[in-house]
């Protein structure tokens, strides 16, 4: 049976096992832990990170990294909030499009610099991270967006209950994020242009020889990541209502963590956005549980979070190796037994 499962599916199964293990562990440590509320908390909070990790994954697949993604989320959240505050009559479609297009513009800036000026992405996006954040400080004029000035539909949208099972709620924000991730996943597995991301990531020279315009592919990866970050910015605004210049600070590293924990190869070429979604869930789960774990003080939490991320990646890697070894062994026996 194992032989029929692809390595990517195996990886996702392994991740699910780690998520379960973490849940079990903390349920023995934290009072009032395993209940519907926990699901509501994690799902609402992960809705934003899932989109960002998904965008980050697209970039990582092409052997690049986007460190400016947190600044993009913050800027878009602020700009969208400012737009709707000044024009309260704007509809959802226009507002969401504005967020996505604005995010994509930031992504294009990154993409152009990386693809056409051939500057390493870690340098480019380190610089644009500061640039975008500073432009937000300038643009915001020390004002902040407050919930009171936002229309009701915007604030209530992420918490709209689509389905309810007891205390467990499936909310609109989470549903949207999951649908987007699934759509991106289908595109990556079935659409030829999207497959090029993998081609460029696994071997840029070969991809070029095969007639793929690698520059264009890298540019589009950054643009798509920007667009997804823009959508995340919209969701950020809807969820938190209050946006200051620190909005989205530190998200970039969390998104890299989520992708890598989710099995996306940091050297490009392999990984899935479903994995990144699970990675985001795992990181968020660990983070939220640690806050409630009395044993760990505030000052040690980050260190423990880092250690747990390392452990979960290691556990995932070991589990994967075992499973693959098992599969190879089985294939061998099947071959030997064949006449």
Residues that bind other proteins (CB under 8 A): 30-32, 37-38, 40-41, 45, 48, 130, 133-134, 136-137, 140, 142-144, 146-148, 159, 236, 239-250, 288, 291-292, 298-299
Label residues 98-137 b or e (16+ Cβ within 10 Å = b).
bbbebbbebbbbbbbbbbeeeeebeebbeebbeebbeebe
Whose Cβ is closer to other proteins: residue 215's or residue 301's? 301
Angle at 118 between CA 116 and CA 124, to 5 degrees: 100
Whose Cβ is closer to other proteins: residue 52's or residue 104's? 52
CA–CA distance, 57 with 276 (Å, rounded to integer): 7
Minimum distance of other proteins from residue 147's CB (angstroms): 6
Contact 248, 73 (CB under 8 A): yes
Whose Cβ is closer to other proteins: residue 131's or residue 324's? 131
Angle at 147 between CA 228 and CA 137, to 5 degrees: 60
CA distances from 284 to 24, 101, 257, 287 (A): 15, 28, 10, 5
Map residue 1 onto helix, strand or coil: coil
Minimum distance of other proteins from residue 114's CB (angstroms): 22
Nearest to 78 by CA among 245, 251, 221: 245
CA–CA distance, 242 with 148 (Å, rounded to integer): 9
Minimum distance of other proteins from residue 186's CB (angstroms): 29
Whose Cβ is closer to other proteins: residue 77's or residue 95's? 77
Whose Cβ is closer to other proteins: residue 80's or residue 272's? 80
Minimum distance of other proteins from residue 239's CB (angstroms): 8
Minimum distance of other proteins from residue 241's CB (angstroms): 5
Minimum distance of other proteins from residue 146's CB (angstroms): 5
């Amino acid at each position: 049976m194992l032989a029929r499962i692809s390595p990517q599916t195996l990886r996702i199964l392994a991740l699910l096992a780690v998520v379960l293990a973490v849940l079990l562990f903390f349920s023995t440590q934290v009072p009032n832990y395993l209940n519907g509320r926990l699901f509501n908390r994690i799902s609402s909070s992960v809705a934003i990170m899932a989109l960002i990790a998904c965008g980050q994954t697209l970039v990582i697949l092409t052997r690049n990294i986007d460190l400016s993604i947190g600044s993009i989320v913050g800027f878009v959240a602020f700009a969208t909030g400012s737009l709707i505050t000044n024009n309260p009559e704007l509809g959802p479609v226009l507002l969401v499009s504005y967020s996505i297009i604005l995010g994509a513009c930031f992504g294009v800036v990154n993409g152009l610099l990386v693809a056409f000026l051939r500057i390493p992405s870690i340098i480019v996006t380190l610089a644009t991270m500061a640039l975008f954040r500073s432009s937000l400080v300038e643009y915001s004029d020390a004002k902040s967006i407050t919930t009171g000035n936002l229309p009701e539909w915007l604030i209530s949208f992420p918490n709209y209950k689509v389905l309810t099972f007891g205390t467990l709620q499936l909310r609109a924000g989470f549903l949207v994020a999951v649908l987007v991730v699934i759509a991106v996943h289908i595109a990556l597995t079935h659409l030829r242009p999207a497959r090029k991301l993998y081609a460029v990531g696994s071997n840029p020279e070969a991809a070029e020889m095969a007639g793929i315009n690698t520059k264009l592919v890298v540019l589009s990866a950054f643009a798509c990541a920007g667009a997804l970050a823009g959508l995340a910015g919209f969701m950020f605004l809807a969820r938190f209502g209050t946006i200051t210049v620190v909005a989205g600070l530190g998200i970039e590293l969390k998104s890299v963590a989520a992708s890598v924990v989710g099995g996306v190869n940091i050297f490009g070429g392999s990984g899935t956005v479903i994995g990144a979604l699970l990675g985001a869930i795992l990181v968020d789960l660990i983070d939220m549980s640690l806050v409630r774990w009395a044993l760990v003080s505030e000052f040690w939490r980050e260190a423990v979070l880092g250690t747990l991320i390392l452990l979960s990646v290691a556990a995932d890697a070991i589990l994967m190796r075992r499973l693959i070894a098992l599969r190879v062994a089985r294939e061998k026996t099947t071959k030997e037994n064949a006449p």
